[in-house]
């Protein structure tokens, strides 16, 4: 631990031995003589922000002790108790929260029975005077203060039982004014620095006693401050002030509800849930990035319970998984007083401005402010866009340069002479090792080695890395690049994908640390060379640049629900060509913050057959976390569709079958719910069905769904009204989840990574989707062979399939059987760490 003493006087060095003996590391900063108050304040402010400084003691010339200087020290680092905040706490009687001026403590140690005695403070101003008044009066003494030149000095000295001298006694004040037997304590010198201010040389023993005690009291303050700092590093019980909801009927629009609620300041929320001030980076009033250092601080803190919200096969309208997620945490924390955290994906601007809209939840179960959540947030998607497009630019530039320059010219560009010296960079050393060239001097490479080093020989027809933009811009889906004359005829067809489809987004969601992210970024395969070998971002030498662009995006963003409970928003990979889950890091941080009895609730995209399966087989493998409960969201509307109801189309009014009671349609459609429960049971995790209730659902329909769900193996099935009632409408769901989390958990993965790629695909197709078998196209088989040969065969599988059916055909509802699942192609996200087969007509072109 560091404790810094900001001093312009050297005597404090004599006390260092004492601090070392109590285990404190003290750094003595001696400012130049004559430093201005502004210079002193600037140094204090620098030390305030240094997380390695746990305490700050000031020993300055008396003229420098101004209110501006004393109050510049953060109260929690003010070991001498000189700031107004610490003095105010002392006056209020908050002894635990304040540190008391050491000289005042020393005086109190020397005085014994004070009850009923008159104590006169002469020339004791500022912190010393204020502290002594409080402390003496609490010991039963009557206090008075006086200056040396006061006309009442002689009279007050005559009646005093104890005199505390705070400044040098003038020569014209005779000692005879003090009545015999009076106790005199002399504090008239700077006791902590050893500087004498008084001319008298008598009573040295008493002075030395006060001096020694003051130093001891400062040490005690430092130890107390250190103990408080150590305690602050431990897990703390939440002191959360929830926000009140007053639901209206009919329920207003989402944006009206969001704007009607006044969110807490995010720094207040952070403090309530145990985050330290140096662990957050505030973005405005309602958002903050949380630093990954928290994981190290709370590494020994047991994790809370881990809950996944998944769903049945949805209608095109969605069935409310995000709303259930928010409603559940509002119920757990605001109504059951259980620590909980929601972890959600950041929405893409494409769907937000499209038919789907935002992803902040809905009704009285939302993340607020809604606009902040849905638009820009803290810029993570923009960072991904910048990193992705930097890599795309590097690919084309490298092809151009290799096609127009000699080996020597390329070598001189890649390994330039700087100040007369040529040297390889660390990333170039890594490339040399991969090429089997064990040389460190650039001047010793042979012509053949130079050629191997400088030429990636990218085959343009194999480039899989596309540029991205976070807008639905259909005219960028196919483009031609290289039209300018400066590109010397290097023209090729390319495309823009939606930004969240970038592999960098999937990496952000699956990474465990900054180092892990950098390693994953380097592994990204962007093309093949002309020999059929993979070319990576590491080969292009841009890994460091990509990591720098992503250095802030790796930190989760803290927000809050309508009821003031905490939410992490981080990462937003699609659930078809990627795994469709929020970040591992957000989950890990939240699991530490909620404590052993708390809950972290996260959501998986699409139905359980897609998002949940990927959560278990991909995300849980990457994180090492074990889920406690699955909440399976269903709606009467979707079940009627699976029971044979008419098509549901986004933007079109629902047919009467969906707005009128129809028990037969519901019963027939429950086959899909039963299948999704069975899929969950494959992984050995308890499942609670959350029936998201709509106003058109009849009591009989609701009861029927809950009964069938429980008969089909669900731990419980609960109707939920959080959309209209907030957390209060999901209390029964929260209670069911809490009970289910205490059940025996036998979590297991669906397949072993060591199995061949084809076999892993087959297991998912048969056990999850219910397919009879799979059928590989020649292109798919060729890619599988290539990835196996390249050493990627032990990666998990991320199936890119329609979310509107268990099969590959969106129109087949319910539980299709007997179908052959066609695999049209197979692609790989090597950095993210998965193989993604394309099922049926699903395309790898992630449209903008």
Structure confidence by residue, pLDDT tens digits, 675-711: 999 999 999 999 999 999 999 999 999 999 999 999 9
Residue 6's pLDDT band, with cuts at 50, 70 and 90, is very low
Report angle CA 243, 244, 246 to the nearest 5 degrees.
145
Mean pLDDT, rounded, for 66-95: 87
My answer on whether omega of the bond before 369 falls inside 30° of 0, hence cis, is yes
Instruction: State the CB neighbour count (10 A cutoff) for residue 596.
Output: 12
Q: How much of the chain is in helix, strand and coil states, percent to nearest 5?
A: 40, 15, 40
Q: Mean pLDDT in the chain?
A: 90
* Predicted pLDDT at 193: 44
More confident residue, 495 or 842: 495
Q: State the Cα–Cα distance between residues 103 and 131, nearest whole angstrom.
A: 9
Alpha carbon 792 to its chain's center: 31
Q: State the Cα–Cα distance between residues 601 and 727, nearest whole angstrom.
A: 14
pLDDT per residue as tens digits for the range 532-565:
999 999 999 999 999 999 999 999 999 999 999 9
Q: State the Cα–Cα distance between residues 600 and 598, nearest whole angstrom.
A: 7
With 70 as the cut, is the pLDDT of residue 377 above it? yes
* Predicted pLDDT at 204: 46
Query: Residue 669's closest CA among 714, 718, 698, 704?
Result: 704
Decide: helix, strand or coil at residue 169: coil
With 50 as the cut, is the pLDDT of residue 5 above it? no
* Predicted pLDDT at 195: 43
* Predicted pLDDT at 348: 87
Mean pLDDT, rounded, for 191-204: 40
pLDDT per residue as tens digits for the range 713-723:
999 999 999 99
Residues 6 or more apart whose CB falls under 8 angstroms from that of 393 comprise none
Residue-wise DSSP of 341-393: EEEEPPPPHHHHTSSS---SEETTEEEESHHHHHTTTTSHHHHHHHHHHHHHH
- CA distances, 692 to each of 294, 358, 516, 641, 723 (Å): 35, 19, 38, 15, 8
pLDDT per residue as tens digits for the range 132-182:
999 999 899 999 999 998 889 999 998 899 999 988 888 888 888 888 889
Number of helices (H) and strands (E), helices first, in the chain?
A: 33, 30
Residue-wise DSSP of 767-800: III--SEEEE-HHHHHHHHHHHHTT-TTS-B--B
Q: State the Cα–Cα distance between residues 11 and 196, nearest whole angstrom.
A: 12
With 90 as the cut, is the pLDDT of residue 789 above it? yes
Strand order in the sheet with 162-165: 142-146, 118-122, 162-165, 183-186
Residues 6 or more apart whose CB falls under 8 angstroms from that of 828 comprise 525, 783, 787, 792, 795, 834, 835, 836
Query: Residue 776's closest CA among 835, 825, 723, 724?
Result: 825
With 60 as the cut, is the pLDDT of residue 223 above it? yes
Query: Residue 655's closest CA among 681, 637, 680?
Result: 637
Alpha carbon 237 to its chain's center: 19
Q: State the Cα–Cα distance between residues 148 and 400, nearest whole angstrom.
A: 87
* Token duo for residue 306: 């881990």
* Radius of gyration, alpha carbons of the chain: 35
pLDDT per residue as tens digits for the range 404-434:
999 999 999 999 999 989 999 999 999 999 9
Query: Residue 506's closest CA among 349, 342, 590, 388?
Result: 388
* Predicted pLDDT at 34: 81
More confident residue, 94 or 40: 40
With 80 as the cut, is the pLDDT of residue 672 above it? yes
pLDDT per residue as tens digits for the range 563-620:
999 999 999 998 778 899 999 999 999 999 999 999 999 999 999 999 999 999 999 9
* Token duo for residue 686: 């308890």
With 90 as the cut, is the pLDDT of residue 208 above it? no
Q: Are the C-beta atoms of 656 and 711 separated by less than 8 Å?
A: no
- Residue 567's H or E segment, with its range, is strand 566-569
Decide: helix, strand or coil at residue 599: strand
* Residue numbers annotated as active site: 321, 323, 345, 356, 575, 606, 694, 723
> What's the maximum distance between 2 C-alpha atoms anywhere in the chain?
112
Q: State the Cα–Cα distance between residues 471 and 381, nearest whole angstrom.
A: 11
Sign of CA dihedral 291, 294, 297, 300: negative
My answer on whether omega of the bond before 709 falls inside 30° of 0, hence cis, is no
With 60 as the cut, is the pLDDT of residue 202 above it? no
With 60 as the cut, is the pLDDT of residue 450 above it? yes
- CA distances, 224 to each of 78, 92, 113, 577 (Å): 11, 19, 26, 55
């Amino acid at each position: 631990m560091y404790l810094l003493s900001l001093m312009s006087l050297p005597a404090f060095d004599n006390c260092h031995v004492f601090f070392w003996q109590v285990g404190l590391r003290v750094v003595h900063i001696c400012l130049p003589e004559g430093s201005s108050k502004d210079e002193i304040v600037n140094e204090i402010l620098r030390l305030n922000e240094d997380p390695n400084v746990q305490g700050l003691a000031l020993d300055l010339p008396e003229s420098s002790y101004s209110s501006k200087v004393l109050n510049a020290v953060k109260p929690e680092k003010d070991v001498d108790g000189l700031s107004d905040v610490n003095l105010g706490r002392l006056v209020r009687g908050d002894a635990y929260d304040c540190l008391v001026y050491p000289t005042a403590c020393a005086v109190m140690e020397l005085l014994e029975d004070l009850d009923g005695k008159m104590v006169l403070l002469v020339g004791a101003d500022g912190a010393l005077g204020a502290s002594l008044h409080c402390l003496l009066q609490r010991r039963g003494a009557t206090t008075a203060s006086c200056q040396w030149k006061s006309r009442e000095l002689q009279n007050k000295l005559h009646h005093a039982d104890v005199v505390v001298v705070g400044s040098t006694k003038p020569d014209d004040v005779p000692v005879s004014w003090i009545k015999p037997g009076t106790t005199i304590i002399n504090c008239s010198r700077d006791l902590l620095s050893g500087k004498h201010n008084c001319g008298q040389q008598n009573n040295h023993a008493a002075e030395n006693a006060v001096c020694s005690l003051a130093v001891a009291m400062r040490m005690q303050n430092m130890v107390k401050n250190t103990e408080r700092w150590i305690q602050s590093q431990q897990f703390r019980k939440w002191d959360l002030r929830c926000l009140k909801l007053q639901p209206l009927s009919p329920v207003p629009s989402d944006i009206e509800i969001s704007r009607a609620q006044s969110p807490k300041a995010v720094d207040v929320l952070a403090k309530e849930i145990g985050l330290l001030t140096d662990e957050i980076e505030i973005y405005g009033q309602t958002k903050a990035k949380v630093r990954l250092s928290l994981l190290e601080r709370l590494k020994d803190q047991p994790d809370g319970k881990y809950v996944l919200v998944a769903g049945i096969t949805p209608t095109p309208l969605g069935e409310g998984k995000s709303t259930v997620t928010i409603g559940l945490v509002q119920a757990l924390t605001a109504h059951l007083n259980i620590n909980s955290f929601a972890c959600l994906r950041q929405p893409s601007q494409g769907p937000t401005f499209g038919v789907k809209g935002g992803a902040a939840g809905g009704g009285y179960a939302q993340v607020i402010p809604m606009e902040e959540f849905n638009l820009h947030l803290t810029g993570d998607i923009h960072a991904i866009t910048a990193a992705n497009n930097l890599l795309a630019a590097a690919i084309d530039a490298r092809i151009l340069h290799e096609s127009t320059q000699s080996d020597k010219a390329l070598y001189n560009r890649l390994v330039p002479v700087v100040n007369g010296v040529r040297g390889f960079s660390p990333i170039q050393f890594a490339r040399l090792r991969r090429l089997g060239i064990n040389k460190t001097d650039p001047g010793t490479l042979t012509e053949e080695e130079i050629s191997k080093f400088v030429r990636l020989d990218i085959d343009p027809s194999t480039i899989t890395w596309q540029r991205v933009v976070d807008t639905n811009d259909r005219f960028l889906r196919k483009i031609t690049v290289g039209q300018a004359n400066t590109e010397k005829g290097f023209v090729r067809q390319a495309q823009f994908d939606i930004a969240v489809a970038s592999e960098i987004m999937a990496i952000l969601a699956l990474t465990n640390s900054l180092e892990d992210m950098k390693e994953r970024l380097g592994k990204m395969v962007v093309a093949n060379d002309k020999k059929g070998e993979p070319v990576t971002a590491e080969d292009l030498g841009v890994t460091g640049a990509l990591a720098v662009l992503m250095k802030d995006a790796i930190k989760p963003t803290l927000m809050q629900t309508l009821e003031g409970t905490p939410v992490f928003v981080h990462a937003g990979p699609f659930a078809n060509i990627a795994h469709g889950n929020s970040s591992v890091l957000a989950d890990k941080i939240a699991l530490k913050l909620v404590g052993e009895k708390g809950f972290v609730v996260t959501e998986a995209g699409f139905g359980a057959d897609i998002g949940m399966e990927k959560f278990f087989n991909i995300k849980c493998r990457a994180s090492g976390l074990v889920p406690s409960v699955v909440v399976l969201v269903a709606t009467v509307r979707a079940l009627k569709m699976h029971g044979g109801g008419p098509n549901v189309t986004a933007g079109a009014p629902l047919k009467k079958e969906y707005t009128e009671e129809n028990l037969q349609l519901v019963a027939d459609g429950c086959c899909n719910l039963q299948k999704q429960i069975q899929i969950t049971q494959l992984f050995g995790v308890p499942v609670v069905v959350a029936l998201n209730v709509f106003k058109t659902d009849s009591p009989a329909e609701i009861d029927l769904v809950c009964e069938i769900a429980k008969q089909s193996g669900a731990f419980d099935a609960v109707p939920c009204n959080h959309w209209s009632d907030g957390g209060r409408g999901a209390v029964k769901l929260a209670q069911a989840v809490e009970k289910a989390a205490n059940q025996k958990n036998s979590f297991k993965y669906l397949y072993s990574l060591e199995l061949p790629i084809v076999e892993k695909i087959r297991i998912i197709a048969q056990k999850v989707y219910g397919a009879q078998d799979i059928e590989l196209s020649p292109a798919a088989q060729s890619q599988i062979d290539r990835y196996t040969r390249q050493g990627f065969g032990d990666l998990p599988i991320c199936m890119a399939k329609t979310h509107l059916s268990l099969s590959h055909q969106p129109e087949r509802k319910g539980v299709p059987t007997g179908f052959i699942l066609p695999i049209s192609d197979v692609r790989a996200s090597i950095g993210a760490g998965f193989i993604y087969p394309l099922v049926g007509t699903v395309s790898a072109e992630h449209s903008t």
